[in-house]
């Protein structure tokens, strides 16, 4: 029964791959492959497989659908269970996995990013895991094999690394956890730990800087954050001395914060450490604050364009606008009336509707902590302990 399910998954995946590589999707897939190939026009097989797999399951076509959405919609012969399984593949699990053990046709993997175990199969059978040993590592993407999420299937390319690569693997997992915290928060326990850690971190930031919101020239903002992170890292290292006799933690790697080109070239940088959204940086926040302080500036094109950018960009949540409105309630209506050319606009009546219309993506997701929390196993590997 279970073997039949894996075999059927293999058939459907093969048909999905052929569907996604057909001429109807060439205008979207080919540019992705060419971009990854670079000027040399060379792309190794594993990377090509990863790009194609991402394209099939997660790439958003102009109408918002995915390739797998269109595949399912066009296949009336699929059973309800098959449709449910295929559509569940739109939310694969990415991670860096440690091999816990082999169990029949499956391997049991610990995701070092979200600290959860995954019982995993391959459409190629047991032979796919030949050479994979306990304590080794896999860089791979998993999709559900059953709706309850109890079993998983390898999707796309699988990259195997031996136990001796632990230090390199730990760095890769840490980078993934920091750069994409949504991967960490598949684990509900990490969500609560993240909120607690962020509360502590925010309190430390406010104590360090004297406030949770600052407007600074870019160089000063970078210096402030560098000094803050160094203080936090040194405090953390001092609070966690080596556990064993003679064991010492390495001297903390004291980071230097480098701002993105957009922030570095701005006149000012807004630094806001919010209770819910965490630490965020905003380009030209000082100019935006001036607009709410002196609403007559709403007649100037550069101020109008800046506010429109804050309303339009998906990289900017409603937080900075909400902050400025709360700080300057007496001028907010005048600013938006001028910008929107709506004399009857009232922030109290229409502000939330405006934000929901301009930033629907923000309201479609659950709040998540702005800090990543790593599991015990990843912490051990990062510290060089097996």
pLDDT in tens, 325-334: 999 999 999 9
Q: Is residue 247 part of a domain?
A: no
Tell whether 177 and 130 lie within a shared domain. yes
In the structure encoding, which two tokens stand for residue 314, read together?
A: 């998906």
86 and 97 both lie in a single domain: no
Choose the weakest-confidence range: 94-98, 246-250, 380-384.
Answer: 246-250
On whether both 336 and 229 belong to a single domain, the answer is yes
Give 385's Cβ-side CA count (13 Å radius): 13
CA distance 258 to 48: 32
For residue 67, CA distances in Å to 11, 26, 47, 51, 88 come to 17, 12, 19, 13, 13
**Residue 245 domain-assigned (yes or no):** no
84 with 74, same domain: the answer is yes
> How many residues are present in the chain?
386
Contact 205, 279 (CB under 8 A): yes
Domain final residue pick, 38, 69, 90:
90
Of 229, 178, 104, 95, the closest CA to residue 370 belongs to 178
Are 228 and 342 found together in one domain?
yes
pLDDT tens track for 104-119? 889 999 999 999 999 9
Residue 368 is assigned to a structural domain of this protein: no
Q: What is the mean pLDDT of residues 38-44?
A: 89
189-247 residue pLDDT tens = 999 999 999 999 999 999 999 999 999 999 999 999 999 999 888 877 666 555 443 33
- The reply to whether 203 and 352 lie within a common domain is yes
Q: What average pLDDT does range 125-154 have in this prediction?
A: 89
Residue 123 lies in a domain: yes
| 280 and 347 fall within a common domain | yes
Residue at which a domain ends, from 62, 90, 118: 90
Give the pLDDT of residue 311. 96
pLDDT at 1 (0 to 100): 57
Judgement on whether residues 76 and 108 belong to the same structural domain of the protein: no
Same domain, 115 and 258: no
Which ranges of the chain does DSSP label H, i.e. alpha helix? 2-20, 26-37, 45-57, 67-73, 80-88, 166-179, 181-184, 188-209, 218-239, 261-264, 285-293, 301-312, 319-327, 332-340, 352-358, 360-363, 376-382
- Residue 150 domain flag: yes
- Among the candidates 55, 90, 125, a domain finishes at 90
pLDDT interval class at 254 (50, 70, 90):
low
Neighbour-count burial of 363, counting CB atoms closer than 10 A to its CB (0-12 exposed, 13-18 middle, 19+ buried): exposed
User: Does residue 138 form part of some domain?
Assistant: yes
Domain that residue 322 falls in: 191-240+252-363
Mean pLDDT of 67-87: 95
Number of domains in the chain: 3
Q: Is residue 29 part of a domain?
A: yes
Same-domain check for residues 151 and 71 = no
57 found inside a domain? yes
Separation of alpha carbons 118 and 131, rounded Å: 19
pLDDT tens-place string over residues 145-173 = 987 768 999 999 899 999 999 999 999 99
Q: How confident is the model at residue 326, as a pLDDT?
A: 96
Are 242 and 251 in contact by the 8 Å Cβ rule? The answer is no
Give the pLDDT of residue 149: 67
* pLDDT at site 22: 96
197 and 54 together in one domain: no
Residue 224 shares a structural domain with residue 275: yes
């Amino acid at each position: 029964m279970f073997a039949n399910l894996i075999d059927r998954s293999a058939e459907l995946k093969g048909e999905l791959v052929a569907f996604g590589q057909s001429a109807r999707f060439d205008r979207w897939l080919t540019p992705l492959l060419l971009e990854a190939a670079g000027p040399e026009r060379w792309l190794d097989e594993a990377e090509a497989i990863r790009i194609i797999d991402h394209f099939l399951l997660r790439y958003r076509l102009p109408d918002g659908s995915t390739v797998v959405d269109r595949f399912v919609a066009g296949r009336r012969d699929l059973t309800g269970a098959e449709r449910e399984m295929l559509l569940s593949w739109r939310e694969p699990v990415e991670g860096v996995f440690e091999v816990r053990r082999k169990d029949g046709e499956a391997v049991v993997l610990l995701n070092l990013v979200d600290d959860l175990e995954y019982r995993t199969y391959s459409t190629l059978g047991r032979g796919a895991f030949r050479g994979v040993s306990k304590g080794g590592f896999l860089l791979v993407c998993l999709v559900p094999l059953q709706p309850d999420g109890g079993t998983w299937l390898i999707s796309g390319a699988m990259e195997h690394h031996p136990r001796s690569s632990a230090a390199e693997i730990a760095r890769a997992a840490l980078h993934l956890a920091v750069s994409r915290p949504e991967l960490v928060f598949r684990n509900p326990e990490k969500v609560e730990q993240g909120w607690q850690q962020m509360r502590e971190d925010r309190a430390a930031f406010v104590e360090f800087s004297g406030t949770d919101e600052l407007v600074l020239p870019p160089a000063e903002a970078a210096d402030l954050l560098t000094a803050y992170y160094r203080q936090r890292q040194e405090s953390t290292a001092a609070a966690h001395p080596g556990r064993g006799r003679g064991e010492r933690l390495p001297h903390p790697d004291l980071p230097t914060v480098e701002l993105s080109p957009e922030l570095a070239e701005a006149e000012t940088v807004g630094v806001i450490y919010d209770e819910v959204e965490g630490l965020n940086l905003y380009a030209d926040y000082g100019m935006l604050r001036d607009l709410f302080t002196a609403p007559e500036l709403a007649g100037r094109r550069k101020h109008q364009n800046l506010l429109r950018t804050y309303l339009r960009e998906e990289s900017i949540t409603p937080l900075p606008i909400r902050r400025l409105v709360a700080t300057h309630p007496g001028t907010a209506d005048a600013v938006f009336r001028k910008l929107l050319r709506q004399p009857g606009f009232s922030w109290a009546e229409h502000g939330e509707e405006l934000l929901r219309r301009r930033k629907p993506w923000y309201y479609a997701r659950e709040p998540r902590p702005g800090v990543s929390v790593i599991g015990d196993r990843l912490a051990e590997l990062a510290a060089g302990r097996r």
